[in-house]
Structure 1
Amino acid sequence: MKLKYTFICIVLIAATTGCKKFLDRPPLTSLPDETAWSSEDNLRLYANKFYSGYFVGYGTQFSAEAGAALLGFRFSDDVFLMGNQSNFSRAVPNSGIWSMTTLRSINIMLDRIKNRMKNVLSEEAYNHWTGIGRFFRAMEYADLVSEYGDVPYFGYVPVETDLADLYKPRTSRNQVMDSVYEDLRFAMSNVRKTDGDQQVNQYIVAAFASRIALSEASWQKYYYNDLARSGKFFRLAQESADLVINSGKYDIVTDFRSLFTSNSLSGNKDVILYRQYDPAVGVTHSIATNNNLSESVAFGPSTDLIKSFICVDGSTYQESDIAHADDFSLSSMIKTRDSRLEATFYDKPNVRNRASYWYINKFLPRSAAAIVDAGSTIPVEFTSNKNQTAYPVFRYAEVLLNWIEAKAELGMATQADIEVSINKIRKRPLAPEATAKGVSQTAPLTLAKLPEDPSRDPSVPALLWEIRRERRMEFVFEYSRYQDLRRWKKLEYMDTDNKPDLLSGGWVNFITELPKELVAAKVGLIAVVPLEGGSPVVYNGSNGALMNGFYRDVNTNGRLPFLDQTGVNPYLSPVGKTQMDDYKSKGYKLEQTTGWPAYE
């Protein structure tokens, strides 16, 4: 796609009476630019069109956004695929570059507010809507910078005929993110504390600001080695999270699985922003279908993820005093590990997860799982694209974990801070079904006695290691793991050559749990990896007694090398040859992303 700015007509969403949920908003219609900016209602409807792009949730139907919302988690060290693993890009593509379409639309909104609505809006409304526009602009540029590093910065609407603008060179990341910083500061100070159900407010802005600032601070510290700039953004992450925490509006009061399996999250104090689904208006998704115990799936949790779950006494399995802490059978781990493990997986190894034998259930209601467990057919609403469970777009738990990570990075974390963040999350209520299985709350984390994890990356201090572990358990199979690895400059954790636990899955004792799998057809195809590691034990038809370990399909293969490769930067995306030629043909130069080979 060429870097040109195609003229976009001003689009507004036609209003309907009583419509509050942003997913229920009617289709876009066009209004002339000359008359569109005549009221706050029109402005609100214009801004609403950005919601489904930034607050994806589970996406809709079988959309690409649905894949990005959940199934994108497959690319991390939490999950592996049966067969060949997905690879990092290893070459400059023929075509590929950022899109400025959404940014142009946001800048049009800001331009029209400034130049056409000063006499239409009150001062309060003017500042609020300017804050909304600057919030979305910050969101867009934070995404672009995370993907490409330096990108052209536009704080205005460029003229279509101005080639110098259309072929503008890349602006430095620091300059772009300074503008993002100012946009977020303005939005947090001017967006309304409340503006109606499911409308962006000050707390939603501050929650996303904590995510954006924490991400940029980490990039600056670990990728660019700029401690001054990292401190600036760590402080913004802390302060924006403080705004949410000090509001008193949110709390940790819901059991973990219910956050992802309820049909409505309205009024839930764990949730700052959610996406509602409603089959009555044709707004549904397909994510629970991938967790419905009826679908056969070829992706599953890696052994690396499974080993990372903390024991209920707050220790790693290597140092825990709990009985059977080193027993990795699922039935045992449900009792000995943090409650989020039980809430995330079906409670028995299952052949329908062909990669790992541990079936992900985090996004399927317990009631639906019980129906399948009893031998009945999964309800139709959990099949195909008919799912209607709501999605917590931004949870209070993330604000708490963003906050404590920022404070730890700034050297300010105290035990009192741990109590109101990590330990508060660990004390969340347990579902009755979990309690009946022997699940218990995890012991508090204490600064005086941090776990001594023999698996800890020696470059990561013990406190940060535990905060990162907490994020991994809390956001498992959601959006963040791959993004966290990138901002920490730890994509090495995805190197399958050096981490064999990335290519095996859940613990299975085939003799006692899945004896029907030990058949002639499986000879030479299934294997298990012992707890101590080493070569997989491949089933040969007569060694069934040895088939007790972390499951591995013999056709599961590692990804191609991606670290320390000449002309490959796995952290940032390259721009395409076509776009570089296009710039050159117009007399301009498009620089290649750092770490990728220039193209002349």
Structure 2
Amino acid sequence: MKKYSILFLAVLATTLTSCSEDFLDRTPLSEVTDENFFQKESDLILFSNSFYRMFPSTSIYNGDSSSDNIIQNTLSEEMRGARTVPTTGGGWSWTDLRNINYFLANYERVPDKNVTKHYGGLAKFFRAYFYFEKVKRFGDVPWYDYVIDPNDTASLEKPRDPRSVVVDNIMKDLDFAIENMKPTKSAYRISKWTALALKARVGLFEGTYMKYRGLKGYEKYLTQAVEAADLLMKESGYKVYSTGKPEKDYLNLFASHSAIEQEVILAREYSTELNIKHNVNYYTITSSYGRPGMPKDLVNSYLMKDGSRFTDKPNYNKIEFAQETKDRDLRLSQTIRTPKYTRIGGNIELAPDLSASVTGYQLIKYVTEAQYDTNSASIVDLPLFRYAEVLLNYAEAKAELGTLTQEDLDKSINVIRARVAMPALVLSAANATPDQYLANQYRNVQNTNKGVILEIRRERRIELYMEDHRWEDIVRWKEGQKLTQPIEGMYFPNTGSYDLDQNGTVDIHIYDGQKPNENQKGVYYVKLGRDLNLSTNSLVEPHPTFRTRVFKEEKDYLYPIPIQELQLNPNLKQNPGW
């Protein structure tokens, strides 16, 4: 039977409301206020389908491309320190919340309480999700758990509530959802397990956000994260997807046209039949669109296949591509093009295409058959919550609490590592010799668990790459300075010809001055200083005009409230520094 699409189901709900209007400024859903609605389960289904629009769609990787994970031909405003206060918009929209609160004020009119329990939990899950997104973006925000009357000036001009009040209410909503929602497993519908996964995510975010800012009481949220993750791990039946093929399983998890429900807790579905598609193939292979690439510092972070550190090698930043990618953590060759790479559905070995990647490290995560290469043609489902993230959240929360044991690592981080045949992470060894390369990136880790926390951050960045987590990780760890560190790519010691995949043919020719007379087929000719820049260390430098960038600690972790909102509500105060 064809799976239901989150996006398709949301489209059905457009008969109820328009997402282009802000519901703080209109009468609530007048089309469905008659006595004939909220009478049966199908009414609850139809109305609640609109909530799924809140999830990210084709821009699911924005958290990576706005940070230091995906480098494109244009640096994000966050990376350049160039954000400004918008006049309107800017994420300060409350339409979804009004929908949810209207639903919660009416759903219990359905007489079957076994039905209403689940949908009440579902609505509170979405209210928690809505507010979590607002807290991450703005910090303090006004909490509303009721439908605002258009004439209720006191509510419309309410000041912002402290984020602690909002987060505590988020957790209460999630507890209600966990208690009342069905424990069914579907990659396209919210369940008890989705609520537990979100609770673990929220608890980890807020606990570390507070800890790295010296705020008291952070332990409460980290403990909630541990408890939610632990319950999901014990009772849900989810597993890390593995078929015993470590060289393919990670890649195939993200290249599957349908979400693999063994691991994926919730996904956004895409379908040729429903004409709901995205653009990942086009985004990663087309020279005219973004040219996304993995940065050198992340490539360096992948361990060797035997578990040793690549950055412990002498002159690790002066190793050419074929050798630097040899015998590494198998997730590297399943995330970027490395020697012997072939497209899914093809048999031709392909070298990295520097015309399609500003760093040279060309992305292959989510990339499928060539028939999906045109713009907005990809149909692989994109994960929103998956089990591996829950394991990472569990391990990190326990490490930050100081309660992490080797047994904890063995049922979390080491399960993830086992998929790609990586050696287990050993707690005592990690803490005995913290990785200085990572310590230079994450300068705020300064406790007895420093070594293992750095290793968990390594695992998190690698495992969750291109899944929209990186920006919020930087924020909660208070590591904004990481975004100002050098942006670099592949190593090319000189001008001349390079066989990147070591198959005996030239892939790229870098020249200075006049272009060589020969014009070999399949060779990408690159003029130094025009098509490609090299740093003084002979590393590709995608953005030489932005060598010096600024992240302002006093303001850049939050976004500004739009000017118009401050004018409409005199009790709103702008975020610090904006």
For the superposition of Structure 1 and Structure 2, which TM-score range results when normalised by the shorter chain? 0.7 to 0.9
* Pairing partner for 1:290 from 277, 283, 288: 283
Q: Select between 467-476 and 329-338 the one with higher mean Cα deviation.
A: 329-338
Give the equivalent residue in structure 2 for 1:252. 240
CA RMSD of aligned residues (A): 2.6
Report the secondary structure of 1:281's partner residue.
Answer: coil
Give the equivalent residue in structure 2 for 1:233. 221
1:552 correspondence with 2:541: yes
Q: Superposed, which structure 2 residues align to 1:510-529 within 5 Å?
A: 510-513=496-499, 514-518=507-511, 520=514, 522-525=527-530, 526-529=532-535
Report the Cα distance in structure 2 between the residues aligned to 1:208 and 1:330, rounded to whole angstroms.
Answer: 39
Q: Superposed, which structure 2 residues align to 1:76-225 within 5 Å?
A: 76-82=67-73, 86=77, 87-89=80-82, 91-96=84-89, 98-114=92-108, 116-117=109-110, 120-122=111-113, 124-194=114-184, 198-223=188-213, 225=214
1:507 correspondence with 2:491: yes
Summarize the Cα distance change of 1:384–1:143 in structure 2 as closer, same or farther, 3 Å threshold.
Answer: same
Report the Cα distance in structure 2 between the residues aligned to 1:324 and 1:336, rounded to whole angstroms.
Answer: 17
Question: What amino acid is aligned across from residue 443 of structure 1 in structure 2?
Answer: P
Report the Cα distance in structure 2 between the residues aligned to 1:325 and 1:443, rounded to whole angstroms.
Answer: 21
Q: Superposed, which structure 2 residues align to 1:390-405 within 5 Å?
A: 390-405=381-396
Give the equivalent residue in structure 2 for 1:316. 309
1:265 correspondence with 2:259: yes
Question: What amino acid is aligned across from residue 453 of structure 1 in structure 2?
Answer: D
1:592 correspondence with 2:578: no
Summarize the Cα distance change of 1:291–1:91 in structure 2 as closer, same or farther, 3 Å threshold.
Answer: closer
Deviations 1:525-565 (A, max 9, x none): 33434xxxxx35xxxxxxxxxxxx4212575523642325x
* Pairing partner for 2:444 from 439, 454, 459: 459
Give the equivalent residue in structure 1 for 2:413. 422
Report the Cα distance in structure 1 between the residues aligned to 2:444 and 2:103, rounded to whole angstroms.
Answer: 45
Report the secondary structure of 2:546's partner residue.
Answer: coil
Report the Cα distance in structure 1 between the residues aligned to 2:74 and 2:116, rounded to whole angstroms.
Answer: 55
Question: What amino acid is aligned across from residue 266 of structure 2 in structure 1?
Answer: L
Report the secondary structure of 1:284's partner residue.
Answer: coil
Summarize the Cα distance change of 1:195–1:479 in structure 2 as closer, same or farther, 3 Å threshold.
Answer: closer
Give the equivalent residue in structure 1 for 2:519. none
8 Å CA contact 2:352–2:361 kept in 1: the answer is yes
Report the Cα distance in structure 2 between the residues aligned to 1:45 and 1:282, rounded to whole angstroms.
Answer: 21
Report the Cα distance in structure 2 between the residues aligned to 1:459 and 1:147, rounded to whole angstroms.
Answer: 22
Report the secondary structure of 2:541's partner residue.
Answer: strand
Report the Cα distance in structure 1 between the residues aligned to 2:93 and 2:201, rounded to whole angstroms.
Answer: 22
Per-residue deviation at 1:305? 1.6
8 Å CA contact 1:259–1:392 kept in 2: the answer is no
8 Å CA contact 1:300–1:359 kept in 2: the answer is yes
Per-residue deviation at 1:325? 6.8
Report the Cα distance in structure 2 between the residues aligned to 1:422 and 1:137, rounded to whole angstroms.
Answer: 31
Summarize the Cα distance change of 1:327–1:312 in structure 2 as closer, same or farther, 3 Å threshold.
Answer: farther
Report the Cα distance in structure 2 between the residues aligned to 1:518 and 1:308, rounded to whole angstroms.
Answer: 30
Per-residue deviation at 1:91? 4.5
* Pairing partner for 1:388 from 379, 394, 417: 379
Summarize the Cα distance change of 1:563–1:21 in structure 2 as closer, same or farther, 3 Å threshold.
Answer: closer
Summarize the Cα distance change of 1:444–1:562 in structure 2 as closer, same or farther, 3 Å threshold.
Answer: same
Question: What amino acid is aligned across from residue 43 of structure 1 in structure 2?
Answer: L
Give the equivalent residue in structure 2 for 1:22. 6
Report the Cα distance in structure 2 between the residues aligned to 1:576 and 1:554, rounded to whole angstroms.
Answer: 30
Report the Cα distance in structure 1 between the residues aligned to 2:288 and 2:562, rounded to whole angstroms.
Answer: 38
Give the equivalent residue in structure 2 for 1:569. 555
Report the Cα distance in structure 2 between the residues aligned to 1:18 and 1:304, rounded to whole angstroms.
Answer: 42
8 Å CA contact 1:207–1:240 kept in 2: the answer is yes
Report the Cα distance in structure 2 between the residues aligned to 1:208 and 1:256, rounded to whole angstroms.
Answer: 23
Summarize the Cα distance change of 1:285–1:153 in structure 2 as closer, same or farther, 3 Å threshold.
Answer: same
Report the Cα distance in structure 2 between the residues aligned to 1:247 and 1:53, rounded to whole angstroms.
Answer: 27
Report the Cα distance in structure 2 between the residues aligned to 1:216 and 1:282, rounded to whole angstroms.
Answer: 38
Show structure 1 runs of 5+ residues with no match: 1-16, 60-65, 369-377, 430-440, 530-534, 537-548
Give the equivalent residue in structure 1 for 2:23. none
Q: Figure out how many residues of one structure are paired with residues of the other and give that number.
A: 509
Deviations 1:277-306 (A, max 9, x none): 211121111122112367664332222222
Report the secondary structure of 2:539's partner residue.
Answer: strand
Per-residue deviation at 1:580? 2.2
Report the secondary structure of 1:336's partner residue.
Answer: coil
Report the Cα distance in structure 2 between the residues aligned to 1:325 and 1:164, rounded to whole angstroms.
Answer: 61
Question: What amino acid is aligned across from residue 15 of structure 2 in structure 1?
Answer: T
Report the secondary structure of 2:131's partner residue.
Answer: helix
Report the Cα distance in structure 2 between the residues aligned to 1:328 and 1:71, rounded to whole angstroms.
Answer: 30
Summarize the Cα distance change of 1:559–1:93 in structure 2 as closer, same or farther, 3 Å threshold.
Answer: farther
* Pairing partner for 1:361 from 352, 359, 364: 364
Give the equivalent residue in structure 2 for 1:277. 270
8 Å CA contact 2:320–2:492 kept in 1: the answer is yes
Summarize the Cα distance change of 1:507–1:185 in structure 2 as closer, same or farther, 3 Å threshold.
Answer: same
Report the secondary structure of 1:516's partner residue.
Answer: strand
Give the equivalent residue in structure 2 for 1:448. 428
Summarize the Cα distance change of 1:528–1:248 in structure 2 as closer, same or farther, 3 Å threshold.
Answer: same
8 Å CA contact 1:324–1:336 kept in 2: the answer is no
8 Å CA contact 2:406–2:427 kept in 1: the answer is yes
Per-residue deviation at 1:19? 7.0
Report the Cα distance in structure 1 between the residues aligned to 2:66 and 2:497, rounded to whole angstroms.
Answer: 32
8 Å CA contact 1:311–1:338 kept in 2: the answer is yes
8 Å CA contact 1:77–1:304 kept in 2: the answer is no
Deviations 1:210-238 (A, max 9, x none): 11221111112123x2231x111111111
8 Å CA contact 2:199–2:225 kept in 1: the answer is yes
Report the secondary structure of 2:569's partner residue.
Answer: helix
Per-residue deviation at 1:447? 1.1
Report the Cα distance in structure 1 between the residues aligned to 2:562 and 2:187, rounded to whole angstroms.
Answer: 42
Report the secondary structure of 2:267's partner residue.
Answer: strand
* Pairing partner for 1:489 from 448, 455, 478: 478
Report the Cα distance in structure 2 between the residues aligned to 1:173 and 1:161, rounded to whole angstroms.
Answer: 26
Report the Cα distance in structure 2 between the residues aligned to 1:344 and 1:244, rounded to whole angstroms.
Answer: 28
Show structure 2 runs of 5+ residues with no match: 17-30, 243-248, 339-350, 500-506, 516-526
Per-residue deviation at 1:253? 2.6
Summarize the Cα distance change of 1:293–1:84 in structure 2 as closer, same or farther, 3 Å threshold.
Answer: closer
Per-residue deviation at 1:125? 2.5
* Pairing partner for 2:294 from 293, 301, 304: 301
Q: Superposed, which structure 2 residues align to 1:32-111 within 5 Å?
A: 32-34=32-34, 35-54=36-55, 56=56, 59=57, 66=58, 68-82=59-73, 86=77, 87-89=80-82, 91-96=84-89, 98-111=92-105
Q: Select between 170-179 and 308-317 the one with higher mean Cα deviation.
A: 308-317
* Pairing partner for 2:566 from 563, 566, 580: 580
Report the Cα distance in structure 2 between the residues aligned to 1:316 and 1:413, rounded to whole angstroms.
Answer: 23
Deviations 1:82-139 (A, max 9, x none): 465633355544445621111111001111124x33xx122x3332222111111111
Summarize the Cα distance change of 1:40–1:221 in structure 2 as closer, same or farther, 3 Å threshold.
Answer: same
- TM-score normalised to structure 1 length: 0.79
Deviations 1:151-202 (A, max 9, x none): 1111111111111111111111111111111111111111111276732111
